[in-house]
Amino acid sequence: MAVGIFDSGLGGLTVLDAVAKRLPDVPLVYMGDSAHAPYGVRTPDDIYNLTTSATQRLFDEGCDLVILACNTASAAALRRMQESWVPQGKRVLGVFVPMIEALTERQWGDNSPPREVAAKHVALFATPATVASRAFQRELAFRAVGVDVEAQACGGVVDAIEDGDMILADALVRSHVDALMRKMPQPDAAILGCTHYPLMETEFQAALGPDVKVFSQANLVAESLADYLARRPEMVGPGQVSTFLTTGDPDKVSSRATQFLRRQITFTAA
């Protein structure tokens, strides 16, 4: 019955937690590639190779459906994977779709012409690789017109979160928000375009101010997955047990994960 969730490190735990609450009867296999995190500073080919390797590990665990709970992987590897790598009978989905749906208030399958949406000035906070890919802007342009997107590459935030240095992460968030708001002083909405960033959502909101609507991915992805599985129940794979896998040090990763989710999480070596 398992569904796989992949992230370059611990950030995807925000998605896993939301999915587990929304779909409590579905076993989840989490794969964190902490040995190679962060992905946001890697080349597209490197990201593709690491992502396919991790996704294959989830297929081997009995997952027919894998969610790339990593914006960098979704931006730099997903399309190439879907076009030339994903085996027949398997599915790999990214995290951009639910965010675009929420921002444009239209379903992904709605192929009508792009139209105006409520948000006119959107701040995108993401890793350097996600920003460089322009994947978010490309997908948004298919569905919305008149939206000005200002992207800010948030170097160092993922590293600080993975290291458990939340004081440094807070300082970096404020610095990156300041840098973006010098370019876009009054955003209507902000996209937290990395699954690590919901762990700092309060800090992003405080730095942006109360008038900016902050879109965070975890709950949007969980709701989208529930809808997908309702339409495609055959994509729930044969795995029976929830499992946490890591390419990093299992003890260290387990300690960080337990700290983030405030419940005991035990990783084993992938």
DSSP-assigned states of every residue in the chain: --EEEEESSSTTHHHHHHHHHH-TTS-EEEEE-GGG---TTS-HHHHHHHHHHHHHHHHHTT-SEEEE--HHHHHHTHHHHHHHTSPTT-EEE-SHHHHHHHHHTS-TT--SPPEE-S-SEEEEEE-HHHHHHTHHHHHHHTTEES-EEEEEE-TTHHHHHHTT-HHHHHHHHHHHHHHHHHH-SS-SEEEE-STTGGGGHHHHHHHH-TTSEEE-HHHHHHHHHHHHHHH-GGGS-S--S-EEEESS-HHHHHHHHHHHHTS----EE-
Give the model's pLDDT for residue 1.
Answer: 62
Average pLDDT over residues 124-136: 92
Is residue 113 scored above 90 in pLDDT?
no
Summarised one tens digit per residue, pLDDT across range 159-193 is 998 888 999 999 999 999 999 999 999 999 999 99
Tell me if residue 63 is catalytic. Answer: no
How far is it, in rounded angstroms, from Cα 195 to Cα 55?
Answer: 17
Mean pLDDT, the chain, whole residue set? 92
Which residues of the chain are in CATH 3.40.50.1860 domains? Answer: 3-96+218-269, 104-216
Instruction: Clarify whether 194 is annotated catalytic.
Output: yes
Q: How far is CA 5 from CA 30, 33, 147, 182, 211, in A?
A: 5, 11, 31, 36, 33
Ranked by mean pLDDT, the top range of 57-61, 116-120, 163-167, 227-231 is 57-61
At 122, is the pLDDT very low, low, confident or very high (cuts 50, 70, 90)? very high
- Domain 3-96+218-269, CATH: 3.40.50.1860
Active-site hit among 19, 28, 70, 245? 70
pLDDT more than 90, % of the chain: 71
Instruction: Assign domain 104-216 to a CATH class.
Output: alpha beta
pLDDT at 98 over 80: yes
Q: pLDDT by residue (tens digit) across 215-266?
A: 988 888 999 999 999 999 888 878 788 999 999 999 999 999 998 888 999 9
- Annotated catalytic residue: which of 194, 207, 225, 235? 194
Q: Per the structure block, which two tokens stand in for 62?
A: 């009995």
Q: Token match 């000035």: residue?
A: 121
Regarding predicted confidence, which is higher, 109 or 211? 211
